Amino acid sequence: MKHIIFPKSLKKGDKIAIISPAGSVEESQLENGLKLIQSKGYEPILGKHLYSQYSNGYSYAGTEKERISDMNWAFNDDEISAIWASRGGYGCQHLLRNLRLSKFRKNPKWYIGYSDNTVIQSYLLKNGFASIHGQTIKTSSFGVTEESYDLTFDILQGKLPKYWIEKSPFNKDGNAEGELVGGNLALIYALLGTPYSFNFKDKILFIEDIGENYYALDRMMISLDLAGVFRQIKGLIVGGMTNIGNEKDNKNYEESFDEFAYQLISERIKKYDFPVIFGFPNGHIYDNRPLIIGGKASFKSDKKVEINF
CATH of the domain at 99: 3.40.50.10740
Query: Considering the domain boundaries, does residue 76 fall inside one?
Result: yes
Among the listed ranges 33-47, 89-103, 165-179, which one has the minimum average pLDDT value? 165-179
224 shares a domain with 142: no
Query: Considering the domain boundaries, does residue 5 fall inside one?
Result: no
Instruction: Please tell me the total count of domains within the chain.
Output: 2
196 shares a domain with 122: no
Q: What is the pLDDT of residue 247?
A: 52
Confidence class for position 255, pLDDT limits 50, 70, 90: low
Instruction: Assess whether pLDDT exceeds 70 at residue 248.
Output: no
296 shares a domain with 204: yes
Query: Considering the domain boundaries, does residue 3 fall inside one?
Result: no
Query: Considering the domain boundaries, does residue 6 fall inside one?
Result: no
Q: Measure the N-to-C terminal CA separation of the chain; round to a whole number of Å.
A: 18
285 shares a domain with 226: yes
186 shares a domain with 104: no
Share of the chain above pLDDT 90, in %: 88
Q: What is the pLDDT of residue 301?
A: 80
304 shares a domain with 170: yes
Query: Considering the domain boundaries, does residue 53 fall inside one?
Result: yes
CB of 128 within 8 A of CB of 106?
A: no
Confidence class for position 305, pLDDT limits 50, 70, 90: confident
Distance, in Å, from the CA atom of 123 to the CA atom of 206, rounded to the nearest integer, reads 16
135 shares a domain with 195: no
One DSSP character per residue, 214-249 reads HHHHHHHHHHHHHTTHHHH-SEEEEEEEES-S-TTT
CB of 208 within 8 A of CB of 284?
A: yes
Residue 293 lies in domain: 162-308
Instruction: Assess whether pLDDT exceeds 80 at residue 120.
Output: yes
39 shares a domain with 72: yes
Query: With the C-alpha atoms ordered 51, 95, 218, 165, is the resulting torsion angle positive or negative?
Result: negative
Confidence class for position 253, pLDDT limits 50, 70, 90: very low
Which one, of 1, 281, 20, lies nearest residue 125 by Cα? 1
Which one, of 191, 153, 168, lies nearest residue 265 by Cα? 168
Q: What is the pLDDT of residue 149?
A: 96
CB of 196 within 8 A of CB of 228?
A: no
Distance, in Å, from the CA atom of 142 to the CA atom of 33, rounded to the nearest integer, reads 15
Instruction: Assess whether pLDDT exceeds 90 at residue 225.
Output: yes
Instruction: Assess whether pLDDT exceeds 90 at residue 107.
Output: yes
Which one, of 292, 140, 270, lies nearest residue 210 by Cα? 140
Query: With the C-alpha atoms ordered 124, 125, 129, 134, is the resulting torsion angle positive or negative?
Result: positive
pLDDT digits (tens, 9 = 90+) for 258-301: 999 999 999 999 999 999 999 999 999 999 999 999 999 999 88
| Phi–psi pair at 217, nearest 5 degrees | -60, -45
59 - beta bridge partners?
Answer: 55
Helix/strand/coil for 68: helix
Query: Considering the domain boundaries, does residue 55 fall inside one?
Result: yes
Confidence class for position 213, pLDDT limits 50, 70, 90: very high
Distance, in Å, from the CA atom of 25 to the CA atom of 29, rounded to the nearest integer, reads 7
276 shares a domain with 216: yes
| R_g of the chain computed on alpha carbons | 18
> Would you tell me how many other CB atoms lie within 10 Å of the CB of residue 250?
17
Which one, of 274, 261, 258, lies nearest residue 171 by Cα? 274
Confidence class for position 1, pLDDT limits 50, 70, 90: low
Q: What is the pLDDT of residue 307?
A: 82
Query: Considering the domain boundaries, does residue 147 fall inside one?
Result: yes
Instruction: Assess whether pLDDT exceeds 80 at residue 187.
Output: yes
